Structure 1
């Protein structure tokens, strides 16, 4: 990243918060009364920024796609009455123009927009010289380079006040999340890009009962804040009702979250941690050695199949192995999702090893 990245945290530091940043508000601004009611309720929590979607890029047409520019004066009034900063999603240079004209404080780039370098560049160009803070959501697909590339486009356009939002990634495999967390991608992002990282547990989980655990995990991974959808009557929301919580529930969650120390200093703690990490290092070495031996055998099987003109993939055996490993993993306290991902990766590498020239 460029030298401007050292300035990326200035907007967050300037807030002087003694707790993680909280961005909250409805998935969609529905009416002026609705937005003002929610804003005043959120003012009683640790919320600093009021979010509200105005332009809603839905997966399929026919669903509510937002009130559009009609909601911008509502955001202005909410800001004037509560003192909360405001943010909304922009997906087009015209959205940027309208948001700037109505003094929206922070703009965010949605996951469906981040996937298109062309659109990202158009928005970045529209923001040149504005000094606005921009938050970029991860792309829908698990592509770290695409996420970082979007941030770099804003940097190169002179936008120095930046942040990233982790909202999870689409997956064709069913699991309990609306969008799979893929925490390792976010961890890799943190190691390469020094901008504030914010979790969106609402879109990640897709269910309000998952918000607390996802939020706590994010704080345990040193995230800088949370973007949580909040509605005064969530079950009646015009979009994404299942993942929204009331301002009162938001207050309870934020109060219950634990912000842990980055490091433990006690000598006993350090000694115990070192001993446990040594055990992990030994186990990791054993895992790699075992996988190496397994792949050598896979290569031998590949040669045997080639010599006998047999196809590499034996579906019945593969599914039997997967089912057996899931059962064994479950008994050992491993999640089915983890075991599936692990053995699918092992199976793919085994296929690669069996491709004998």
Structure 2
């Protein structure tokens, strides 16, 4: 299928962010729990320079009998924040009813959660409900690392006429034990940016981290990769939050986190930097050419092995041989400062390509 180029407006034309310098900050509680809780959090955030409030009104929970949000009543509390504090407001919508309620209440920005992004039927219904509006919409990545599913959600909104579209990277679910609640897999949002270089890209360090103590480091990783901003869960008293208590920070803690962020430049006019970086990139290009030739030679040898296996009726997979390869690679890699995690990913891909080629030969 031919790639679709998204027709998007620049962030400066969105009319929601008063300051389009990086990083853009959207912050507020995971859930609006009471009018007092929401307003006090918003007021504290406003005093710390945050101008866009986020709050969950409807909370899709994994299991029933959990706090699932206050519903439409919370939209009235958000209107008060708009009126009295002059802040913009944003919330998550998961179905057409949510869209209509949020639009009716004058919410300034919508975002679509990971579970909804993963459902093309739900995305199409939301896109249809938003036709004729120009409200900004941010789309979280689907639960699983599926680039095409994520891009498909963006395309549905764009084809419905929406041009103020951005993405939120909140990491991906994993069944394995990991440091973070959702593993970042930064290469996925990087691929989105490669295809659509002008799209607004926001990081959600709260959902990636799962714990407030990791929010600083995840936020810095996002800044190092050139993300445009952050959407952070902030609660006036996180310890008693009704949802995601462990990953929320107080407004003052958020201010402290933001004050320590190092913001990188995309480019520089420094002549010495440009000369040095061009020289290093030229060397990278040379090494890439060498790698391609080596990989080509290796695949040719794998093909020859496949022919001998076929002639002698031997199975393609030889687990003992694969274990020995990895063991040797890890040992040599350690001597050269290469991590086992990196080497395993690279050589697994090479091994799988060799198996695929030998499978073709077996079935010729």
Residue among 109, 114, 117 paired with 2:112: 109
1:4 shift after superposition: 4.1
1:197 shift after superposition: 1.2
Residue among 125, 129, 151 paired with 1:148: 151
1:198 shift after superposition: 0.9
Question: 2:108 and 2:139 mapped to 1: Cα distance?
Answer: 15
3-state DSSP of counterpart to 2:143: coil
The worse-fitting range, judged by mean Cα deviation, of 236-245 and 264-273 is 236-245
1:12 shift after superposition: 5.7
The worse-fitting range, judged by mean Cα deviation, of 322-331 and 87-96 is 322-331
- The residue that corresponds to 1:46 in the other structure is 49
Cα 1:4–1:207 shift into 2, 3 Å: same
Question: 1:172 and 1:294 mapped to 2: Cα distance?
Answer: 34
CA deviations on 1:87-110 (whole Å, 9 max, x unpaired) are 110011001111122221111011
Unaligned runs of 5+ residues in structure 1 are: none
Cα 1:9–1:139 shift into 2, 3 Å: farther
Instruction: Establish whether residue 36 from structure 1 lines up as the match of residue 39 from structure 2.
Output: yes
Q: Point out 4+ residue stretches in structure 1 off by more than 6 angstroms.
A: none
- The residue that corresponds to 1:347 in the other structure is 351
Residue among 175, 187, 196 paired with 2:190: 187
- The residue that corresponds to 2:224 in the other structure is 220
Cα 1:263–1:45 shift into 2, 3 Å: same
Question: 1:9 and 1:315 mapped to 2: Cα distance?
Answer: 56
Instruction: Establish whether residue 274 from structure 1 lines up as the match of residue 278 from structure 2.
Output: yes
3-state DSSP of counterpart to 2:8: helix
Question: 1:166 and 1:184 mapped to 2: Cα distance?
Answer: 11
Question: 1:331 and 1:31 mapped to 2: Cα distance?
Answer: 57
Structure 1-normalised TM-score?
Answer: 0.90
RMSD: 2.5
- The residue that corresponds to 2:213 in the other structure is 209
Question: 2:70 and 2:332 mapped to 1: Cα distance?
Answer: 51
The worse-fitting range, judged by mean Cα deviation, of 217-226 and 323-332 is 323-332
1:326 shift after superposition: 4.5
CA deviations on 1:105-133 (whole Å, 9 max, x unpaired) are 11101111112221111111112223211
What is the total number of aligned residue pairs between the two structures?
Answer: 357
Question: 1:294 and 1:228 mapped to 2: Cα distance?
Answer: 47
Question: 2:260 and 2:172 mapped to 1: Cα distance?
Answer: 27
Structure 2-normalised TM-score?
Answer: 0.88
5 Å matches for 1:241-260?
A: 241-260=245-264
- The residue that corresponds to 2:313 in the other structure is 309
Question: 2:247 and 2:338 mapped to 1: Cα distance?
Answer: 27
- The residue that corresponds to 1:66 in the other structure is 69
- The residue that corresponds to 1:288 in the other structure is 292
1:338 shift after superposition: 2.7
Residue among 86, 89, 113 paired with 1:83: 86
CA contact (8 A) 1:9 1:195 kept: no
Unaligned runs of 5+ residues in structure 2 are: none
Cα 1:331–1:101 shift into 2, 3 Å: farther
5 Å matches for 1:129-148?
A: 129-148=132-151
Cα 1:12–1:197 shift into 2, 3 Å: farther
Question: 2:276 and 2:187 mapped to 1: Cα distance?
Answer: 25
Question: 1:127 and 1:218 mapped to 2: Cα distance?
Answer: 30
CA contact (8 A) 1:2 1:155 kept: no
The worse-fitting range, judged by mean Cα deviation, of 75-84 and 223-232 is 75-84
CA deviations on 1:177-223 (whole Å, 9 max, x unpaired) are 33332323322322332321111111123232332232223223332
Question: 2:284 and 2:245 mapped to 1: Cα distance?
Answer: 42
Question: 2:335 and 2:51 mapped to 1: Cα distance?
Answer: 44
Question: 2:176 and 2:331 mapped to 1: Cα distance?
Answer: 18
1:174 shift after superposition: 4.4
3-state DSSP of counterpart to 1:303: helix
